[in-house]
């Protein structure tokens, strides 16, 4: 089969089409050829080569043919030629002008709808050069406007005309903007058309060309103003009464406002009229109408603020109070725009409406550009919405809006710190991770990626910042929130507050802004006081405990972020306007209580910011009505220990001492003891490495000692309720438990003090402990009556532990077990030290023993009141003292031991002997036994057991011990007692001297020295009497007095009676000073060997015989 014939060439086909008499058929064939060449570049090139010279003239001629089919076919082929890039590229400028002229004439003159439609279509698809189109722009737009308002009322023609408009706008936007007054009016008029398709077409067209026509030219603004005055405004006002047309009316209103532009500002009369449309629709009951109105309201923003104001240099810091001509000019516009926003946000219950409102507000902030950083603009545009949203709180519906506003405020505040970081300064920016970012996603989409031009703020805006922050931490609002919401809000507020304080610190480094920065420091401190004294201080709700934690966080932010030199300097001072300070000034102070000398701060006294924050933190705790947790107390301790030790710690100690007078019950006392405990623990860790520096600074260590003595003063004044509710058993149980807790809190610290002092330099800690012991001793001496009254009160209530005595005892015990003091006590005696020491008193040992003596003196009150009770703290102290006494090797230390606590030891032995029957089964008597045995061992070790002069001075002590009913004590004392009588003059009854006693059988001696055996009491007492014979009596005294010794048969004991022969001289006592013995002992001491020679006294042999008969 032969191959098919080759298709004719394009050139041949074009020639055939041109010669075809049937023009309609010819153009149909041409259109087919054009479509075939569209995808074949070589065929399209061949067709393009023939088109300019042959086809285009024919197309232009036949486009005006009266035959609609011929003209339509020609226009279709012409449109394809103008659209195809290869074909249109061959059209010369002159030919293009002819094409446009032909199309303009056809559109304006044709009576055929299809021809008009195709003519406009050719314009909408043409790809001619912009220069060519520009030359015929006015004529083209006139023809297009004619097509929009076509006499055929053809909607398709109107659509094609709108497409032509959009095509020309994209080709030559400048020319189209210049001529917008020609072609825009026929489009915006159709926004109010009854035909929805026509309205939609007009809106789509305006959206497409809005970037070109807005902000509008003056001629366009005048044109639309004229249209509004004549017809459009009245039409809109009519439409808003039709529920179906309300949305359409408000959408049109938005476009009209945009097209009016700044012209509407000058035409106040027209503005007032046109604002009646949204005014009525903002209060419409239909939420969709309100949302549509809010969207349209953005166009008023665009009209008033055509473009965002920008600074010449990006990110340049500008002063918020800088005089700018446009600032005041914009304020009236901003207030007008903000008016419906505030109303809707405060009343709306629709998240969609509120989100739309925030979107419009954010658009306003964006359009303001750099002006948003001006303080008046911030107050007019930024602040009101934030306050409204924050006043509602982060409830379920409002949380997305709340989160958005908090993050926006956070972004604004962080700008200053970020700007400093960009300049190389490292300032950590806290991340606002608390708020849920996903809750703002739909809001972020409404913002169209618009970024507000925040610039570094100036300190003169600080009041505005604090005002917004106050609206976030609104006390009334926080009281109604759930715990989770409170934590959400306060976390964000803390982040923002830290950024604010960091910004102040940035300005503090700039010398030019130093004065304003100092003012800001004072304002920051007052802000924390204003918020948290009202928020935490006097409210009683479930969230108070959490708010107290955030109060401490705010205080820590100030102390951590601001330079110490600024906080502690006298340059920046603040009046101490805390009401609690005033209340403390009027507190009743007990005249009997002797406080350590310290300065307390008065109301409105000028203090440093650091002192202000310390006192504020303590005042918040004092006013806090809830239960203070250990964590809260720890945070307060951190705050106090962050501060300057000498000045601010002094303020804290002074406050706590003053607070003692305001304690209304034991719960409050327990609170402050817990605070004291936490602070003390932190100080213990800080004292050890800095001890040498502290002990060299008198002002520092005095405050430190006063602080550590705080529990003693707290215990001296029990709470008023504790003293009034003692009648009920439940109250008694509670008070006893409270005392135990208080004691544990206090002794925990004292144990730590004594333990920590073992890990530092020995010399430094010696000085520290010495001064501390001396301080405690002085406190006890100055307030001894209160100490005694307190112990008597606790004994009367039969508390298991007396708080003040237990605390003092634990301190004493810890000191006795302290490594530094023990190291001193166990030093080996050397000849040099013995010769040089003499009776010099080592300070640390002296102070420690003085404290022991004070404890022993106070403990006798408890023993007398409750002898049968197991006194654990006394047992512990006696145990520690006995262990301590075992380390005393030096003679001077033993002498000091007896000198300081000898009197108290004598009283203790005498009292325990008197109350032996009640105490014999308890632990206390055993510890007294161990202590006494250790003391006897010390006497032997130091060789004082052979020092008659020393032992004679201790006769009363030895007598109380040798006559003690507890046998181990009396037996152990016998050698010392014997030694103290070793130099007695030889008696006339030497036949029964002490040496004979030694020759008795061991069993007999044991019996005679057992005071617990009733039948041996006479012999023992007799021996005691004999041992007391030491000093000879003068002859005159011999005749004045006589002694009668007789045996009481019924009571099986020897009675020794002393009779005075003459009256006692006035003022003369027979009892030696300081003697705590019984009358029997006193009489025995006055006994002398001379009386044994009198006739009234039997011989010793007779006495012994009597004893034998009694057995």
pLDDT one-digit tens code per residue, 654-665: 899 888 877 766
pLDDT of residue 988: 35
Range of the domain at 1037: 986-1110
pLDDT of residue 837: 39
Query: What secondary structure, in 3-state letters, does 96-133 show?
Result: HHHHHHHHHHHHHHCCCHHHHHHHHHHHHHCCCCHHHH
Q: Which residues pair with 635 in a beta bridge?
A: none
1055 in any annotated domain? yes
pLDDT of residue 992: 39
Confidence band, pLDDT 50/70/90 cuts, at residue 507: confident
Judge residue 139's burial from the number of C-beta atoms within 10 Å of its C-beta, 0-12 exposed, 13-18 middle, 19 or more buried. middle
| DSSP E strand boundaries for 284-382 | none
pLDDT of residue 811: 92
Confidence band, pLDDT 50/70/90 cuts, at residue 1054: very low
**How far from chain centre, in Å, is Cα 577?**
21
pLDDT of residue 324: 56
pLDDT in tens, 969-1009: 999 998 888 877 665 433 333 333 444 344 433 433 444 44
Confidence band, pLDDT 50/70/90 cuts, at residue 758: low
pLDDT in tens, 762-783: 677 778 888 889 999 999 999 9
pLDDT of residue 1046: 36
pLDDT in tens, 217-236: 999 999 999 999 999 999 99
pLDDT of residue 694: 61
- State the DSSP H helix or E strand holding residue 1056, giving kind and residue range, or none if neither: strand 1053-1060
219 in any annotated domain? no
Cβ–Cβ under 8 Å, residues 944 and 895: yes
Q: Which of 227-231, 518-522, 823-827 has the lowest mean pLDDT?
A: 823-827
Q: Which of 181-195, 499-513, 622-636, 890-904 has the lowest mean pLDDT?
A: 499-513
CA dihedral 275, 279, 280, 281 (to 10 degrees): 100
| pLDDT mean over 675-683 | 91
pLDDT of residue 947: 86
| pLDDT mean over 513-521 | 78
969 in any annotated domain? no
CA distance 163 to 157: 10
Which SS3 state, helix, strand or coil, does residue 589 take? Answer: coil
CA distance 18 to 26: 7
Q: Which of 360-369, 388-397, 736-745 has the lowest mean pLDDT?
A: 736-745
pLDDT of residue 589: 55
Query: What secondary structure, in 3-state letters, does 770-827 show?
Result: HHHHHHHHHHHHHCHHHHHHHHHHHHHCCCCCCHHHHHHHHHHHHHHCCHHHHHHHCC
Confidence band, pLDDT 50/70/90 cuts, at residue 480: confident
pLDDT of residue 1087: 33
CA distance 711 to 1017: 48
- Answer whether residue 1032 shows pLDDT above 90: no
Q: Which of 410-424, 509-523, 1082-1096 has the lowest mean pLDDT?
A: 1082-1096
1092 in any annotated domain? yes
pLDDT in tens, 74-109: 999 999 989 988 888 888 888 999 999 999 999 999
Average pLDDT along the chain: 79
Confidence band, pLDDT 50/70/90 cuts, at residue 315: very low
CA distance 976 to 774: 33
pLDDT in tens, 783-804: 999 899 888 888 887 777 788 8
pLDDT of residue 106: 93
Considering only CA atoms, which of 616, 679, 685 is closest in space to residue 653?
679
Which SS3 state, helix, strand or coil, does residue 638 take? Answer: helix
124 in any annotated domain? no
pLDDT in tens, 52-62: 667 888 889 98
Specify whether the backbone of 286 is left (phi greater than 0), alpha (psi in -120 to 50) or beta.
beta
1008 in any annotated domain? yes
1054 in any annotated domain? yes
Q: Which of 355-369, 393-407, 431-445, 460-474 has the lowest mean pLDDT?
A: 431-445
Task: Kindly state the tokens that stand for 649.
Answer: 């710690």
pLDDT of residue 963: 92
Confidence band, pLDDT 50/70/90 cuts, at residue 24: confident
Considering only CA atoms, which of 685, 741, 684, 694 is closest in space to residue 714?
741
Total domains in the chain come to: 1
CA distance 603 to 167: 78
1064 in any annotated domain? yes
CA distance 500 to 498: 5
CA distance 204 to 109: 28
Report the share of the chain in percent with pLDDT over 70: 74
| pLDDT mean over 28-42 | 81
Cβ–Cβ under 8 Å, residues 994 and 1026: yes
Confidence band, pLDDT 50/70/90 cuts, at residue 153: confident
| pLDDT mean over 281-290 | 94
Q: Which residue has the tokens 């705590």?
A: 1076
Cβ–Cβ under 8 Å, residues 810 and 751: yes
pLDDT of residue 977: 84
List, as one string, the DSSP characters of 252-295. Answer: HHHHHHHHHTTHHHH-HHHHHHHTHHHHHHTT-S-HHHHHHHHH
Considering only CA atoms, which of 649, 632, 626, 796 is closest in space to residue 718?
796
pLDDT in tens, 444-469: 666 667 889 999 998 889 999 999 99
Q: Which residue has the tokens 């790809």?
A: 127
Q: Which of 573-582, 623-632, 935-944, 1047-1056 has the lowest mean pLDDT?
A: 1047-1056
Report the share of the chain in percent with pLDDT over 90: 39
| pLDDT mean over 1064-1073 | 37
Q: CA dist 442 to 113, 155, 272, 428, 450, Å?
A: 47, 37, 34, 30, 14
Considering only CA atoms, which of 435, 431, 396 is closest in space to residue 417?
431
pLDDT of residue 4: 61
């Amino acid at each position: 089969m032969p191959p098919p014939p080759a298709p004719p060439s394009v050139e041949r086909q074009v020639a055939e089409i041109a010669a075809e008499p049937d023009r309609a058929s010819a153009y149909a064939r041409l259109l087919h050829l054009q479509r075939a060449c569209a995808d074949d570049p070589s065929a399209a090139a061949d067709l393009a080569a023939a088109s300019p010279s042959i086809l285009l003239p024919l197309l232009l001629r036949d486009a005006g043919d009266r035959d609609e089919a011929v003209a339509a076919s020609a226009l279709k082929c012409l449109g394809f030629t103008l659209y195809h890039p290869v074909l249109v590229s061959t059209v010369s400028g002159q030919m293009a002008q002819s094409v446009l002229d032909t199309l303009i004439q056809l559109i304006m003159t044709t009576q055929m709808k299809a021809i008009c439609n195709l003519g406009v279509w050719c314009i909408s698809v043409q790809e001619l050069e912009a220069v060519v189109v520009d030359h015929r722009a006015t004529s083209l737009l006139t023809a297009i406007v004619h097509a929009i308002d076509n006499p055929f009322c053809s909607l398709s023609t109107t659509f094609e005309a709108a497409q032509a408009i959009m095509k020309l706008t994209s080709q030559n936007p400048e020319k189209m903007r210049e001529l917008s007054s020609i072609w825009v009016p026929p489009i915006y008029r159709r926004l109010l058309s009854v035909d929805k398709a026509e309205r939609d077409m007009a809106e789509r067209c305006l959206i497409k060309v809005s970037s070109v026509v807005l902000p509008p030219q003056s001629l366009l603004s005048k044109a639309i103003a004229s249209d509004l005055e004549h017809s459009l405004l009245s039409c809109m006002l009519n439409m808003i009464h039709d529920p179906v047309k309300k949305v359409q009316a408000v959408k049109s209103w938005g476009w009209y406002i945009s097209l009016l532009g700044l012209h509407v500002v000058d035409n106040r009369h027209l503005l007032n009229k046109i604002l009646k449309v949204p005014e009525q629709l903002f209060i419409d009951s239909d939420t969709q109408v309100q949302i549509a109105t809010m969207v349209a309201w953005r166009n008023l923003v665009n009209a008033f603020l055509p473009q965002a104001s920008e600074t010449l240099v990006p990110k340049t810091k500008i002063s918020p109070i800088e005089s700018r001509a446009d600032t005041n000019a914009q304020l009236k516009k901003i207030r007008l725009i903000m008016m419906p926003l505030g109303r809707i946000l405060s009343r709306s219950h629709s998240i969609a409406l509120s989100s739309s409102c925030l979107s419009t507000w954010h658009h306003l902030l964006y359009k303001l550009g750099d002006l948003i950083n001006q303080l008046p603009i911030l107050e007019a545009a930024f602040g009101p919405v934030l306050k409204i949203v924050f006043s509602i709180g982060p409830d379920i519906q409002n949380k997305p809006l709340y989160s958005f506003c908090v993050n926006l405020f956070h972004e604004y505040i962080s700008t200053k710190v970020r700007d400093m970081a960009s300049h190389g300064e490292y300032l950590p920016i806290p991340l606002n991770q608390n708020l849920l970012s996903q809750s703002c996603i739909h809001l972020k989409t409404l913002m169209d990626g618009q970024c507000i031009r925040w610039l570094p703020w100036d300190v003169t805006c600080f009041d505005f910042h604090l005002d917004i922050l106050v609206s976030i931490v609104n006390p009334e609002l926080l009281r109604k929130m759930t715990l989770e919401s409170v934590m959400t809000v306060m976390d964000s507020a803390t982040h923002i507050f830290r950024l604010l304080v960091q910004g102040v610190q940035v300005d503090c480094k700039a010398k030019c802004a130093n004065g304003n920065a100092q003012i800001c420091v004072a304002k920051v401190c007052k802000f924390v006081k204003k918020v948290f004294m009202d928020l935490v201080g006097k409210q009683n709700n479930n969230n108070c405990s959490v708010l107290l934690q955030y109060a401490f966080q705010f205080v820590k932010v100030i102390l951590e972020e601001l330079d110490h030199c600024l906080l502690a300097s006298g340059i920046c001072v603040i009046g101490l306007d805390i009401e609690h300070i005033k209340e403390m000034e009027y507190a009743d102070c007990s005249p009997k209580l002797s406080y350590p000398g310290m300065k307390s701060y008065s109301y409105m006294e000028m203090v440093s910011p650091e002192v202000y924050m310390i006192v504020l933190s303590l005042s918040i705790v004092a006013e806090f009505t809830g239960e203070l947790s250990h964590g809260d107390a720890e945070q307060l301790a951190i705050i106090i220990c962050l501060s300057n030790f000498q000045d601010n710690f002094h303020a804290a100690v002074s406050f706590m001492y003053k607070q003692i007078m305001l304690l209304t019950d034991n719960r409050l006392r327990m609170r402050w003891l817990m605070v004291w405990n936490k602070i003390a623990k932190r100080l213990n860790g800080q004292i050890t490495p800095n001890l040498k520096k502290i002990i060299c600074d008198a002002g520092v260590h005095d405050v430190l000692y006063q602080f550590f003595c705080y529990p003693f003063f707290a215990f001296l004044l029990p709470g008023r309720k504790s003293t009034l509710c003692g009648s009920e058993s439940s109250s008694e149980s509670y008070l006893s438990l409270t005392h135990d807790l208080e004691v544990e809190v206090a002794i925990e610290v004292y144990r730590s003090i004594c333990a920590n002092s073992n890990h530092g330099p020995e010399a430094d800690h010696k000085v520290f402990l010495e001064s501390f012991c001396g301080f405690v001793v002085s406190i006890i001496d100055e307030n001894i009556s209160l100490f005694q009254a307190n112990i008597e009160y606790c004994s009367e209530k039969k508390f298991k532990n007396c708080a003040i005595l237990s605390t003092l005892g634990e301190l004493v015990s810890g000191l006795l077990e302290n490594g530094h003091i023990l190291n001193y006590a166990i030093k080996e005696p050397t000849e040099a030290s013995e010769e040089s020491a003499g009776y010099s008193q080592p300070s640390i040992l002296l102070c420690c023993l003085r404290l022991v003596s004070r404890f022993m003196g106070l403990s006798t009150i408890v023993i007398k009141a409750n002898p049968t009770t197991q006194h654990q703290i006394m047992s512990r102290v006696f145990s520690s003292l006995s262990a301590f006494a075992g380390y005393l090797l030096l003679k001077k230390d033993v002498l000091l031991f007896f000198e300081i606590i000898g009197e108290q030891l004598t009283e203790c032995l005498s009292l325990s002997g008197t109350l032996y029957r009640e105490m014999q089964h308890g632990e206390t008597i055993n510890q007294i036994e161990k202590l006494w045995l250790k003391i006897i061992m010390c006497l032997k070790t130091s060789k004082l057991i052979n020092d008659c002069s020393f032992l004679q001075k201790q006769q009363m002590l030895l007598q109380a011990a040798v006559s003690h009913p507890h046998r181990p004590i009396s037996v152990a004392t016998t050698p010392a007692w014997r030694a103290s009588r070793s130099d007695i003059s030889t008696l006339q009854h030497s036949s029964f001297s002490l040496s004979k006693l030694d020759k008795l059988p061991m069993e007999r001696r044991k019996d005679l020295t057992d005071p617990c055996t009733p039948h041996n009491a006479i012999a023992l007492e007799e021996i005691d009497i004999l041992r007391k014979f030491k000093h000879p009596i003068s002859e005159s005294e011999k005749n004045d007095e006589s002694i009668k010794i007789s045996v009481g048969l019924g009571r099986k004991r020897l009675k020794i009676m002393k009779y005075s022969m003459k009256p006692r001289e006035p003022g003369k006592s027979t009892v030696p000073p300081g003697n705590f013995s019984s009358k029997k002992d006193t009489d025995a001491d006055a006994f002398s060997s001379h009386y044994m020679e009198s006739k009234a006294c039997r011989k010793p042999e007779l006495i012994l015989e009597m004893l034998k008969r009694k057995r």
